[in-house]
Chains A and B, each alone.
Chain A
Amino acid sequence: MAELDTRARDLRFSPLEAVSHRLVAASATDSVSATELPFTTQIGLRGDASDAAFVKAVKAAIGLAPPSEACTVAVKGDNRILWLGPDEWLVVAPDDVEGALLAKLEKGLAKLGAVAIDLTGNRTVIELSGPSARAVLEKGCYHDMHPRAFPVGRVVGTLIAHTQLFLERASDNPETFRLYVRSSFARHMAEWLMDAMAEFNESN
């Protein structure tokens, strides 16, 4: 895929762009804030983590080895690799690098029976942070948010407000969560979050 030209960049809009101003208003508090991280590059990886050639090829392309430990995230600079399953990962990188990353990955994985596929746009990312972020998520999520069950640098596939998502606890801040929500569910998730956050907004 060619890099986006300026015109396409001007025309595109993210799943939560229409409610971004309301997200800002709902975040007017010190206790919890939500923002969309739009247009992140996302690439799905399938391969065998015990195959040294696969790990080496991914490392050469992304600068990171796919984490072999369940539910962990590997981070280097702006690039992250999320563990999704025993042979499945999601590469997350800044906007507009999917073409370059895919070309490098495909070249390295071509003969290994491993797959890299462009999933950019499948999910958008909502970053929820602040001292009350955990309390907000606990209203709609059955997963144990206690640090002993969900420490920093972890990612779990679970449900919040009946919606499947990958929930990452940022490796650098236990009060920051990233919600990888399918684009078509993003509005529902944002509405649910704004409602759940309302009680923490003192200006209400």
Chain B
Amino acid sequence: MLLIDCPYCGERPEIEFSYGGEAHIARPENPGALSDKEWADFLFMRGNQKGAFRERWIHTQGCRRWFNVLRDTTSHEIYAVYKIGAPKPPAPGEKPVAAKKPAAKKPAALKKGAGK
């Protein structure tokens, strides 16, 4: 039994959760424009990695919210739990995702010392 750290409720037993497969698979913007192969790729093809894997879970019996888990598929070790839409935490041995560079030109009003 895994203990999964629900980002809303805290650490809970695995039995309260349901699995939702691989995370971060975006639905194509325009499904009608895809070939059958591309559509099948979106529907059925998954990474099935050995090792660190980003997957979706839902706290079915608790707060009923979806979230993402970074779990090792061989050892079941959970490296990170993060909310839907939150930045991806790095997997072990992976470089942290660089924070987005600030826009080249900030609006004048937001500049430090503006208005002084």
Q: For residue A86, which residues in chain B have a CB less than 8 angstroms away from its CB?
A: 8, 63, 65
Task: Tell me the number of A-to-B contacts counted with CB atoms below 8 Å.
Answer: 45
User: Chain A: which residue is nearest B62 at the CB level?
Assistant: A157
Whole-angstrom CA separation of A156 from B15 in the bound complex: 14
Contact B65 A142 (CB under 8 A): no
| Contact digits for A74-88, partner B, Cβ 8 Å, 1 yes 0 no | 000000000011101
Contact B63 A142 (CB under 8 A): no
Whole-angstrom CA separation of A149 from B63 in the bound complex: 17
CB distance from A190 to the nearest CB of B (A): 20
**What's the interface size class on A, roughly?**
10 to 19
Q: For residue B12, which residues in chain A have a CB less than 8 angstroms away from its CB?
A: 143, 156, 158
Contact A157 B63 (CB under 8 A): yes
Instruction: Please provide the chain A residues from 76 to 129 with a CB less than 8 Å away from any CB of chain B in the complex.
Output: 84-86, 88
**CB < 8 Å neighbour of B9 from A70, A88, A142, A164:** A70
User: Chain B: which residue is nearest A84 at the CB level?
Assistant: B63
Whole-angstrom CA separation of A149 from B12 in the bound complex: 10
A159 at the interface (CB under 8 A from B): yes
Query: What is A's interface to B at a CB cutoff of 8 Å?
Result: 70-71, 84-86, 88, 142-143, 149, 156-159, 164
